[in-house]
Amino acid sequence: MFDSGAFRGSMPALVTPFKDGAVDMAAFSSFVEWQIAQGSHGLVPVGTTGESPTLSHPEHYAVITRTVEVAAGRVPVIAGCGSNDTATAMAHMRHAQSVGADAALIVVPYYNKPSQAGLIAHFTALAESSKLPIIIYNIPGRSVADMSVETLAVLARLPNIVGIKDATGNIARVSAQRAACGADFVQLSGNDDMALAFNAMGGVGAISVTANVAPALCAQFQDATLRGDYAEALAITDRLYPLHAALFSDASPGPTKYALARLGHMQPDVRLPITQPSEASKAAVDAALAHAGLT
């Protein structure tokens, strides 16, 4: 397994291709290989962008297994293992560990609205149940519950809770969490449009939607920030910003799959309740792809 210090740079939150209602494993394998060839620093299967809420458990596990197989140790695999049920998240982690994933991404439990004490109990139970490093995913816009800086600081003391994917949209959290959890605690942006500021304040990478579509540019952007070349990072951000916006111009990952279909990587199929993006969304994606120099 990779050391937690390797969890940095551009890590796409991989989409899950579908064809005729089933997971398209051939397209997915080719897609993962392309991501590595383009310079992605890690891979994150079956997160929200991978439509994990509509995958069966066998599909969920098959996607993680295939990611590990194709990656073959070249880049770390951070497997989506979150659930609003602690026992289910434990089962996901057992599978991910058994097939050789390098870490687990665990979202703050959604819908249940646990208290901060509940969050501590949930993540402590998961940390004690597995040897996998855990990256907490805090996204109150989807989960409703928001993990406080104080709660994160408690959990960061556990040896295998190594970082956070922060999608709060509150850029000041980076400094607050750095102060509370230490400079070595891995902070990854969950918002592509804030990744430049996030890294300037102490972040070390992003679990990215845009990296699905523009992996080379996203990797170059992260490399620039990690070597302190913020002028180069800003120039790349200017190229990518319209794409960051366009990929969320309709329900995700519909616009992202449309973009990938345009680039020839997969069918644009999504599963209900996600639907195909609107014509306005498609037009925004088309314009953003051209602006970034991808078409």
pLDDT digits (tens, 9 = 90+) for 154-198: 999 999 999 999 999 999 999 999 999 999 999 999 999 999 999
Q: Is 144 among the domain residues?
A: yes
Query: Does residue 3 have a pLDDT over 90?
Result: no
260 within domain boundaries: no
pTM score: 0.97
Note down the domain range covering 94. 4-229
Sorted by sequence, the CB contacts under 8 Å of residue 62 that are 6+ apart come out as 23, 25
Of 96, 82, 91, which Cα lies nearest the Cα of 1? Answer: 96
Task: Evaluate whether 256 touches 243 at the Cβ level (below 8 Å).
Answer: no
Contact residues for 100 (Cβ-Cβ < 8 A; gap 6+): 1, 68, 77
More confident residue, 51 or 1: 51
Any domain includes 38: yes
pLDDT at 5 over 90: no
Q: Does the residue 262 lie in any domain? A: no
**43: helix, strand or coil:** strand
| 210, part of any domain | yes
CA distance 88 to 10: 28
Burial level of 71, CB count in 10 A (0-12/13-18/19+)? buried
Domain assignment of residue 200, yes or no: yes
Query: Which sequence positions are flagged as catalytic?
Result: 137, 165
Q: How many Å apart are CA 215 and CA 208, to the nearest integer? A: 9
Place of tokens 């992202």: 256
Average pLDDT over residues 213-234: 98
Within-domain flag for 25? yes
DSSP secondary structure, 134-190, as one string: EEEEE-HHHHS----HHHHHHHTTSTTEEEEEE-SS-THHHHHHHHHH-TTSEEEES
Q: Is residue 240 assigned to a domain?
A: no
Give me the residue label for tokens 């209900």.
272
Task: Identify the CATH number of the domain in which residue 82 sits.
Answer: 3.20.20.70
